[in-house]
Structure 1
Amino acid sequence: MEEYKKFIEKSWKKFIETGDIDNGVRTEIAESWKRCKSYGVDPINKNVRPKYSVDADHKTYENEELISVARPIMENVYNIVRGSEFAIILTDKDGYIIEVIGDEDMLKKMDDLNFVKGELWTEKAVGTNAIGTALYINKAIQTIGADHYSITQHSWTCSASPIHDEEGNIIGCINMSGNYYNAHSHTLGIVTAAAHSIQKQLALTIANNLMNVTFNSTCEGMIALDEKLDIKKVNGKALEILNISFEDILNINIKETLRNVSFDKIITLDYKVYNNVECDFYIKNNRVRCIINAVPMKVNEKFVGVVITFRKTQDVHKLVSKVVGYKASYNFDDIITKNSKMKDMIEFAKKASKSDCNILIEGESGTGKELISQSIHNYSDRSSGPFVAINCASIPRELVESELFGYEKGAFTGASKEGHPGKFEIADEGTIFLDEIGELPLDMQTKLLRVLDNNKITRVGGTYEKQLNVRVIVATNRDLKEEIKKKNFRKDLYYRLSVMNIKTIPLNDRKEDIEILVKYFLKKLDIKNGQVGKKVSTYYINKLKEHNWSGNVRELRNVVERDYYLSDISLDLSNYIDEESFSGNDVEKAKINVVPMKSIEKEIIENALKKYNGNIVKTSQVLNIGRSTLYRKIKKYNIIVK
């Protein structure tokens, strides 16, 4: 080592005086000297001035994560060399010193050399040195005595190694500096090992931070248990769902809190896994129903803990509602009318929507009862919640209760083993629309009355009453007061449902709406079929107004749709009003030629096939019939498909 010191000092002097480099000088040092000379670094300047100083606090803040990881490792290294006149220095990727640890005497010498926080130690700033050169060549290097380009550093020995991130980018440099007579090759090995340790620890820290961010940002509650089933980690969402503090949750007994989960089976060799199971958390005398996943953690086939993830059942139901389409599509603006009574009805419905009262909608079939109920929902404060519509007449009598209120696992033969939520649960925080309420069996009317009284439901086969927040809207085309007299409907239920009573207006009482309704239907049909505005005659509108619309708006829409497909663009719809639309007298008054329906049907199919070049799929879609039905009719009428 002494021979090298003498050699390099002589070689440095020769280079400074002549620019020539001896063959024995290390390539990294020789190349660095050349760079420093080209930079114009003064090798003789003994009065070092901080040319490139920056605010040390700002640099510390910028590199906070690197410093927090590196400092413990720097302290470990320093403990090895403590008292041997060495200091450990950390720089950022640009070469600015951001952390220093060392003996007091050494720190004073470093201060005299401006080897302190906030100073730049690149080759361009101070000449060849372990930090600047290591950063330039991107590998570890040791500089001893006259290896340094500046004579002010010839009494030093430095060993430095760059620090990289996971992508191999330089993020800093660690350096160990001391008196040059203490130089030893082992110091370079120590520094290199320290740099690798920082890199690994930093990668681990980043991974851990990412895991923590994921853990705390997920929309699910998460609880991590150790092998003794003690809670070791919990995220903020879990605390929010269970309405409990972090301190309190650490002290709960998970077996008593999640009574439906068999933790004994999880921790045994069975390693039972729970996926999407509905369970109750019992927290401070409260019961929180959630959908959970419970998965055992294993290391080398040894049980080390359990991870539980969960969401509130009602939140899952909201998601299901969005996916399966439990939402209202219509608004009050979709109700087309210029009738004053209809407008009064809409204004009343708007006022009713702002309350949470039960609403009974009465009216004939086809008058838009569900359209009104959807509009009420979308106009209410519950518009962001689910809208669940169910036709009471379409449910088999024996399934009404389970359909409305759900059932627990094993409640009856054929029941799902996980149980099943009813429509009321799915509608929680939203609106449930019970159409044809007059068809509800009497025993179910009693149970519905109880739900309306206390806003709680009990699943079939269950014992737990679940609190709900559901707005109830019902509709009927029956005269419920007459049904009460016939003992078919409960009087108390009627008054409970009809807190707000809305009566729809039959089309026969608002015939001034027929024209705007027809034009609306035609516009929708044009859009659907890619047509350009079919015309409708005044005569056609007048004949429609003369008709007795027992099926109301629904019947009108069906007539217009049928006549639309019977007409050409060049013909008005008045030519196609037939006996299916009106009574015989109306047909006679309209002086319309009555032709057999079979002939019309054959003509419609032939025209459609011609228009779509024999495309069966497109033709069946336009005619709104199945392909098999279309093939059958083609065969029936001996139609030739071209």
Structure 2
Amino acid sequence: MKDDRINLQAPEFLLTDYLVSTLEKIFDPVPVPIILIDKKTEIKMINRVFANYLEFTKEEIIGRKVKEVDKNSRFPYVFKTKKAEIAWKHKFENGHTGIVHRIPVLDDQGEVIFGFGMVLFEDLEEFKDIINKNKLLESELHLYKRQLQKIQGAKYSWESIVGQSEKMVQAKYMSRRAAQTNSNVLLLGKSGTGKELFAHAIHNGSSRKHAPFVKVNCAAIPAELLESELFGYEEGAFTGAKKGGKVGKFQLANGGSIFLDEIGDMPLKMQAKLLRVLQEHEIEKVGSNNTIKVDVRVISATNQKLLELVKEGKFREDLYYRLNVMTIEIPSLKEREGDIGLLTEKLIKKVSKEIGKHVDKISPKAMDFLQTHDWPGNVRELENVLERAINLVEGDTIMPVHLPVYINKKEVAVYSYEGNMRTLKSIIEETEKETIVRTLEYTKGNKLQTAKLLNISRSSLYDKIERYCLE
């Protein structure tokens, strides 16, 4: 029996002028922007509506690399991952923002041979109009459920927690056991160790996983507003109160879990009210005399030593023992021997995907620097360092030169990432560039303040920013 399947690797299956001409005749009348590129990311076909959208003529586009036409294109990244990106929000170089598909076409061996792209909606307003015109009950319900899950649901699970060190394995074991109970959980650990990650996983691993997961940062809410935030208020309870009142976080978390982060910063007055909720399982809104029954499991966290706060009279002893039923200590990154390599690998994948830049390797020397650093900022600091490095990388490998000076110390100042001795000029330029970058980070991009701190003129700073491509 004759095999009529098309062999994508056969010599006759090429983007000949005739085939391209045929594709243009098919797609040019289509009012949807469409593009076809080859495995070298050269544009082979684009319909007229897409060329107009990009503010070029077709003749100016055909044959050019897609990055030359739109420097924000993610097609090179899609070709690296070999995974389609469906309905992505994309900002084109000319300022237009649309919803796009990017689809790699693979051969029988799984290698990329073409890339197909199209713009579903040419601007976000058009996208919003389509949604508004199609508000069917089922679609609305699905949308609201997703939004509610995003606002009130736990995002992370046990698989999100990376680590095989003895202390990390013990913390995960204790957390899994705690998840099977309805007891209150107290998470202890330094800032950046991942206490919130554990709180999410405990909720998702419990019988309450389909119920709300509500987060409250006790240190971020002013003391005078914390009560109304936690318990809600009645209409007219105070000047500025919303009409109809407000539902508090405990009521929103009914049936699920509430995560009280930075519990050590909660004012003493609020500690007494929280203790009553834990004892009586009921809340009282501000401005109301009625009580409301709630079924909420409390997961609290702090980077402070609560027992010392109890001795100093800054934290109630009775509340401490109410919260301290299942205590889990999250180890610092310095204590997690052997975990830095695993975390680095996962974080490189995560950050690379978020940025849209294909970086998947780290040199042994750069890894040595990461392994020997103390990491006072823990996992959060490691992620920030890797994000900075990925932004600086030109290839697909993180080298020592891409790490901050405080981590790679003097090695990177003397040697290039190829291992060759560097010139004095290159060392000075690298030091100058690093100093400007760190000062801009410190001033949050304020160039006037940066120039003053560096004791140079603003025009001189702009010249150096342009020279080192720091914009």
What band does the TM-score fall into relative to the shorter chain? 0.5 to 0.7
How many Å apart are 1:549 and its aligned residue? 1.1
Report the identity percentage: 39
Deviation at 1:591, TM superposition (A): 5.3
Query: 1:603 Cα deviation (Å)?
Result: 8.8
Q: 1:474 to 1:595 in 2, by over 3 A?
A: farther
Alignment partners' CA distance in 2, 1:519 and 1:506: 18
Q: Distance in 2 between matches of 1:335 and 1:594?
A: 41
Cα distance change on mapping 1:595 and 1:438 into 2, 3 Å: farther
Measured against aligned partners, the alpha-carbon deviations of 1:497-549 in whole angstroms (never above 9, x if no partner) come to 01000000110011311111111111112222333344211111111111111
Question: C-alpha distance in 2, partners of 1:522/1:428?
Answer: 38
Who is 1:409 aligned against? 235
| Number of equivalences | 301
| Distance (whole Å) between structure 2 residues aligned to residue 558 and residue 502 of structure 1 | 26
Are residues 326 and 431 of structure 1, via their aligned partners in 2, closer, same or farther at CA, if it must alter by over 3 Å? same
Match of 1:457 among 266, 279, 283: 283
Mapped pair 1:477 → 2:303:
yes
1:387 offset after TM fit, Å?
A: 0.7
Aligned counterparts of 2:358 and 2:403: Cα–Cα separation in 1: 21
Matched, 1:424 2:258: no
**Residues 528 and 465 from structure 1, CA distance in 2 versus in 1: closer, same or farther, beyond 3 angstroms?**
same
- CA deviation after TM superposition for structure 1 residue 344, in Å: 1.7
Measure the CA separation in 2 of the matches of 1:433 and 1:421.
Answer: 17
How many Å separate the matches in 2 of 1:336 and 1:459? 40
When the two chains are superposed, the root-mean-square deviation of aligned CA atoms in Å is 3.1
Counterpart for residue 507 of structure 1: 333
User: Given the alignment of the two structures, is residue 374 of structure 1 paired with residue 208 of structure 2, yes or no?
Assistant: no
When residues 324 and 627 of structure 1 are mapped into structure 2, their CA distance, relative to the original with a 3 A threshold, is farther
Question: Relative to structure 1, is the Cα distance of residues 628 and 510 closer, same or farther in structure 2, using a 3 angstrom cutoff?
Answer: closer
* Residue 578 (structure 1) shift: 3.0
Answer 1 or 2: higher relative contact order, Cα 8 Å, separation at least 6. 2
In structure 2, the CA distance between the partners of 1:468 and 1:603, relative to structure 1 (3 Å rule), is: closer
- Measure how far apart 1:445 and its partner are: 0.3
What is residue 327 of structure 1 aligned with on the other side? Answer: 153
Give ranges in structure 1 of 5+ residues lacking alignment: 1-317, 605-622
Do structure 1's residue 347 and structure 2's residue 181 form an aligned pair? no
Stretches of structure 2 that go unaligned for 5 or more consecutive residues are 1-143, 415-426, 452-457
CA, structure 1 residues 441+542, in 2 after alignment: closer, same or farther (shift >3 Å)?
A: same
Deviation, 1:340, is 2.1
For residues 320 and 484 of structure 1, the distance between their equivalents in structure 2, rounded to whole angstroms, comes to 41
Asked whether the 8 Å contact 1:458–1:464 carries over to 2, the reply is: yes
Distance 2:147 2:184 in 1: 21
Residue 599 of structure 1: aligned partner: 433
Runs of 4+ off more than 6 Å: 318-321, 601-604, 625-629, 632-635
Larger radius of gyration: 1
Match of 1:637 in 2: 462
* Structure 1 residues 324 and 379: CA distance shift in structure 2, 3 A: closer
Q: Give 1:385's aligned residue.
A: 211
The alpha carbon displacement at 1:397 in A equals 1.0
How many Å apart are 1:444 and its aligned residue? 0.4
C-alpha distance in 2, partners of 1:391/1:509?
Answer: 26
- Distance (whole Å) between structure 1 residues aligned to residue 165 and residue 385 of structure 2: 22
Give the Cα separation in 1 of the matches to 2:429 and 2:344: 24
Q: SS of the residue aligned with 2:384?
A: helix
Residue identity in the other structure for 2:207: D
CA distance in 2, matches of 1:556, 1:503: 20
Separation of aligned partners in 2, 1:472 and 1:578: 39
Whichever residue aligns with residue 284 of structure 2, its letter is T
Q: Taking structure 1 as reference, are residues 602 and 493 closer, same or farther at Cα in structure 2, changes over 3 Å only? A: closer
Shift, 1:626, TM fit: 10
The structural deviation recorded for 1:367 is: 0.4
**Which of 406, 410, 430 is the matching residue for 1:588?**
410
TM-score (norm 2): 0.59
Alignment of 1:180-579 (within 5 A): 322=148, 325-569=151-395, 572-579=398-405
Check conservation: 1:436, 1:477, Cα contact below 8 A.
Answer: yes
Measure the CA separation in 2 of the matches of 1:329 and 1:594. Answer: 45
CA displacement 1:234-269 (0-9 Å, x = unmatched): xxxxxxxxxxxxxxxxxxxxxxxxxxxxxxxxxxxx
Contact residue 216 and residue 259 of structure 2 kept, 8 A:
yes
Distance (whole Å) between structure 2 residues aligned to residue 598 and residue 325 of structure 1:
44
Is the CA contact 2:358–2:396 (under 8 Å) kept in the aligned structure 1?
A: no
- Give the conservation status (yes or no) of the 8 Å contact 2:250–2:296: yes
Please give the per-residue CA displacement for 1:96-126, whole angstroms capped at 9, x wherever unaligned.
xxxxxxxxxxxxxxxxxxxxxxxxxxxxxxx
Q: 1:627 to 1:440 in 2, by over 3 A?
A: closer
Q: Under a length normalisation based on structure 1, what TM-score does the superposition of the two structures give?
A: 0.44
Structure 1: distance between partners of 2:216 and 2:147: 14
Q: Deviations over 1:374-404 (max 9, x none)?
A: 0000000110111111100000111010011
From the superposition, tell whether residues 603 and 512 of structure 1 become closer, same or farther in structure 2 (CA, over 3 Å).
same
Give the Cα–Cα distance (whole angstroms) in 2 for the partners of residues 453 and 321 of structure 1: 32
User: Residue 324 and residue 525 in structure 1: after superposition, are their counterparts in 2 closer, same or farther (change >3 A)?
Assistant: closer
Counterparts of 1:626 and 1:507, CA distance in 2: 27
Q: CA deviation at 1:348?
A: 1.2
The question of whether the paired residues in 2 share the 8 Å contact of 1:358 and 1:499 is answered with yes
Kept after mapping to 2: 8 A contact 1:387/1:431:
yes
Q: Residues 326 and 427 from structure 1, CA distance in 2 versus in 1: closer, same or farther, beyond 3 angstroms?
A: same
